Chain A
């Protein structure tokens, strides 16, 4: 074992975090190397000094001040903090559902194919800069989105039964909700606490 390795592993050894086999090697090296023995003795002394400073700090009871501040705050919600995906799921489900009701499942737009709708969407995505500049463009794009969505609904209505429709909406909503919950749990586990 090299001296540098010894010095690094010694900390783990003294912290009780080193595996037995490596611990034996650390002790063996310490007994053989005078330089590392000095390092060992210093570390032991450092650990002892740390112990003398371990006694807890004393302070007056802060609970009254803390609870007074807490009383001014809103009661925390038991709902996940990442509301955006959850809200998005609810909105998508509601809007798709409302659109289906509004259009009526049997309505079909003559002469407008699914391919046309895709073409419209591609055109919209390709012109983002004009969204803010040109109201006409904005209106055209908005109608493009509506047409695309209508076409999608009609396309689905002609191929899928109403029951499957509802199941699909519930599924999309469920996936988005699940994503919201997953994101919440994942971020908490990773330790991102925004203050």
Chain B
């Protein structure tokens, strides 16, 4: 575990709530980034991020120092967001089925330094298409794709974050990618069927 994180947690537990600020500053963007990819709405993502940190603070005494704080805060974020998505399911499906796919844009800007504007545009469109496809996955599959591809966690870390066996991680990743691939093939973002 990062010693700075450890120190901050210890200070919080001894009554110094301001020590929590360093943890917030270190991990807020990471948490927000994961949450916003799952909920596809910046305002909701900000509210959930705030909730995640407040819950983490309240539950700080349950934190196990043998594991990285990053994994722990991710676990809270993913669990809270999955819970939110399940409760908001009708609204979430509504976006899926009826909205114009081009009318929504995830609040993420592609920082592409290449000089070619056409290439930038293409890359930006691809990124946007992928984000939409990921958003349309069911919450469990969405979480695992985000942790693997956007957080670049390995299987062990994903298993630890989600509290599931590695076999389940592999299985869900496979299913999620199959679904993504099917959507992208259907929309001709990937080459056609066999």
Contact = CB atoms under 8 A, between A and B. Distances in A.
Given A49-B184, A70-B20, A81-B62, A57 B36 contact: yes
Given A11-B173, A70-B17, A76-B58, A58 B64 contact: no
B108 interface: yes
A62 B32 contact: yes
A41 B190 CA distance: 9
Nearest to B63: A188
B24 interface: yes
B177 A43 contact: yes
B131 interface: yes
Interface residues of B, number: 73
B150 A53 contact: yes
A71 B107 CA distance: 29
B170 A11 contact: yes
Contacts of A66: 24, 28, 49-50, 53-54
A35 B13 CA distance: 57
Contacts of A70: 17, 20, 24, 53-54, 57
Interface in A49-72: 49-59, 61-63, 65-67, 69-71
Nearest to B111: A55
A130 interface: no
Contacts, number: 174
Contacts of B123: 52
B14 A46 contact: no
A38 interface: yes
Contacts of B134: 53
Contacts of B61: 76-81
26 contacts: A11-B173, A17-B154, A42-B181, A45-B190, A46-B180, A50-B130, A52-B130, A53-B126, A57-B32, A57-B33, A57-B36, A61-B25, A62-B24, A63-B21, A66-B28, A66-B49, A69-B54, A80-B61, A185-B64, A187-B62, A188-B62, A188-B63, A188-B64, A189-B64, A195-B55, A195-B83
Given A65-B50, A81-B62, 18 more contacts: A8-B174, A38-B194, A49-B189, A55-B109, A56-B29, A58-B107, A63-B21, A63-B28, A66-B54, A73-B57, A75-B12, A76-B58, A77-B13, A77-B61, A81-B61, A193-B75, A193-B79, A195-B76
Interface of A: 7-8, 11-12, 15-17, 35, 38, 41-43, 45-47, 49-59, 61-63, 65-67, 69-71, 73-81, 184-185, 187-195
